[in-house]
Structure 1
Amino acid sequence: MLYIGIIGILAALDLFIKQSIEQQNDDDFPKELKESGGKILLYKNHNPGFSFGYLKEHPELVSMIPLAVASFIGGMLACLLRSKGKTAEKLSLSIALGGAVSNLYDRLVRHYVVDYFSIQYGKLKKVVFNLGDFFIFLGAGLIIIIETVRAFKVR
């Protein structure tokens, strides 16, 4: 139940922020996130495609591919939940799935993903994303680290 709770909390947090952004006037953006010293800007972007609007002309693919991927990750987690241990893997998949669920909700209900912040550093200035994207990236990164460590342990 812990991992299902993590998925729900992370998805709810991102969806709460997205709803807050959606309720604000478009003309109020971009704006600086308070206490970030100008390092983080808030935006109100609607992305009907994948990253950078890729495939936005094919909304059925943009909805169905993430649904398939989230289902696969959920299936992997369900299989892992049956076994003892593998806490790091379970946590990593839960984090990634929390982000995926939030973005999938956007794609299926809003027909676009709400992206809302940008880190003002180097090339990252051009990228606007949301916490769901960050959770997906973090979960995937953790899995890569776990599997890399495991591969070196075996040798």
Structure 2
Amino acid sequence: MVSNVASPEVDIVKSSRTALSWLWLVIIVIVLDLFTKYQASSLLAYGVPHPQLAIFDLTLLHNTGAAFSFLASAGGWQRWLFALIAIAVSGMLLVWMARTPREQHWLGAGLALVLGGALGNLYDRVVHGYVVDFISLHYNGYYFPAFNLADTAITIGAGLLIIDMLWSSDNQNKSK
């Protein structure tokens, strides 16, 4: 008689064959992000630029909104809305990683980077009520909104997801 119930050993083997094997990258992103935010908060005066290069300053800023300070002046309710969205998206990313074969490296790494960045910013939002930003890029009087390593990980992760989408569709079309 054959049982359809999977043993715990089979579940472990299955999880090691999924993109969940990229969880180490999630942890690295979170640790580096929180460390650099701590350093910026400890060493930089709020709002005072510290020039590093002609186009790059370290400037401590607090963002109570979302990307590009969206809803930053909404009165405080946005903190919990963005936290709930981050929790929901993080859950979806974990499920997606669990359903993604380990061999899809671009997709797995991209999902891990987005998840790590989302969790890094979620920590700030829940604990501080704002996200710590400190990287300021500018050129000829034009300033890009300040950001942090979590934002950088999310952006790179999104780029990897786009690369995976474009390349995997090419590979699927060639195999047909």
1:146 aligns with 2:168: no
SS for the counterpart of 1:108 is helix
Q: Which of 77, 93, 100 in structure 1 is aligned with 2:97?
A: 77
Residue in structure 1 matched with residue 116 of structure 2 by the alignment: 98
Q: TM-score, normalised by structure 2?
A: 0.76
1:10 and 2:26 aligned: no
Report the equivalent of 1:26: 45
1:93 deviates by 0.8
* Cα deviation code 1:94-121 (max 9, x no counterpart): 1111111111111111110001112223
**How far did residue 52 of structure 1 move?**
2.7
Report the Cα offset of residue 126 of structure 1.
3.0
In the TM superposition, 1:52-131 aligns within 5 A as 52-56=68-72, 57=74, 58-80=78-100, 83-121=101-139, 125-131=143-149
Bigger Rg over Cα: 2
Q: Counterpart amino acid of 1:139?
A: G
Letter in 1 for 2:67: S
Aligned twin of 2:59: 43
Provide closer, same or farther for how the CA distance between residues 84 and 136 of structure 1 changes in structure 2, counting only shifts above 3 A: closer
Distance in 1 (alpha carbons) for counterparts of 2:38 and 2:62: 12
Figure out how many residues of one structure are paired with residues of the other and give that number: 150
Which runs of 5 or more structure 2 residues have no equivalent in the other structure?
1-19
CA RMSD of aligned residues (A): 2.1
Cα distance, 1:114–1:49 mapped onto 2, change above 3 Å: same
Give 2:121's aligned amino acid: N
**Alpha-carbon deviation of 1:153?**
3.2
Displaced runs of 4+ in structure 1, greater than 6 A? Answer: none
Stretches of structure 1 that go unaligned for 5 or more consecutive residues are none
Q: 1:134 Cα shift?
A: 0.8
